[in-house]
Chain A
Amino acid sequence: EDQVTQSPEALRLQEGESSSLNCSYTVSGLRGLFWYRQDPGKGPEFLFTLYSAGEEKEKERLKATLTKKESFLHITAPKPEDSATYLCAVQAAGTGFQKLVFGTGTRLLVSP
């Protein structure tokens, strides 16, 4: 069964203090690994899709990387507005539709 484990569950950073969030996964062949940001009471906001080991994508202060077993979301010099829950999801390879399987997220709080 496809599984996603995110760590830590919660992370508190000072503004400017860089860190990384981890997403470990087991999947029967990976079609894509997705990162989303979710603010309280709102739907997930798409950040990145990664497809193969070694791939990296960047957006502002965020950089996502992928290996065969895990993905990291690196946050460089975070600002208070980066505070949110970050969700990781995997989509298995195969014919036809494959659902997203999500982790429980990492709640990030950035203090000024």
Chain B
Amino acid sequence: DTGVSQNPRHKITKRGQNVTFRCDPISEHNRLYWYRQTLGQGPEFLTYFQNEAQLEKSRLLSDRFSAERPKGSFSTLEIQRTEQGDSAMYLCASSPTSVWSSGNTIYFGEGSWLTVV
């Protein structure tokens, strides 16, 4: 168990460019989440996958954002035509599916910092 892995850790891009972040969840975790965090705030939910199915999307996820999880393994989050307001840390998290509430543990990765200049 190597934890949730995110790449790249840091990305600086010019406004209008596209960026893609990758997340490798903990093996055998079939639930995967993306959150966004800005300075001084708590993480905000963006989207959720169970296996390869994207089951939930926040209103924060504009049309410029797209997330995929092919084959239910790693996931990518793409931001098209980046804007300065997209600057934030993008966090990926994963958890196992558990019938019992006592198994409800959600682990976060180290995050991918995006700076749009």
Residues in chain A within 8 A of chain B (CB atoms):
4, 31-32, 34, 36, 41-46, 49, 51, 87, 89, 91, 96-97, 99-105
20 A-B pairs in the complex with CB atoms less than 8 angstroms apart: A41-B111, A41-B113, A42-B110, A42-B111, A43-B91, A43-B108, A43-B109, A43-B110, A44-B108, A45-B108, A51-B101, A51-B104, A89-B43, A99-B56, A100-B33, A100-B43, A101-B45, A102-B44, A104-B42, A105-B42
Residue in B40, B48, B89, B107 whose CB lies within 8 Å of A99? B48
Q: Which residues of chain B come closer than 8 Å to A104, judged between CB atoms?
A: 40-42
Residue in A43, A44, A49 whose CB lies within 8 Å of B105? A49
Main secondary structure on A side of the interface with B: strand
Taking the closest CB of chain A, its distance from the CB of B84, in whole angstroms, is 20
| Pairwise interchain contact B45-A100, C-beta atoms closer than 8 A | yes
Q: Which residues of chain A come closer than 8 Å to B104, judged between CB atoms?
A: 31-32, 49, 51, 91
Q: Which residues of chain A come closer than 8 Å to B33, judged between CB atoms?
A: 99-100
| Pairwise interchain contact A46-B106, C-beta atoms closer than 8 A | yes
Q: Cβ of B55 < 8 Å from any Cβ of A? A: yes
Q: Cβ of B2 < 8 Å from any Cβ of A? A: no
Q: Cβ of B50 < 8 Å from any Cβ of A? A: yes
Which residue on chain B has the smallest CB distance to residue A51?
B101
Q: Cβ of B62 < 8 Å from any Cβ of A? A: no
Known: A43-B91, A44-B43. A34 touches B55 (CB 8 A): no
CA distance A96 to B55 in the complex (A): 9
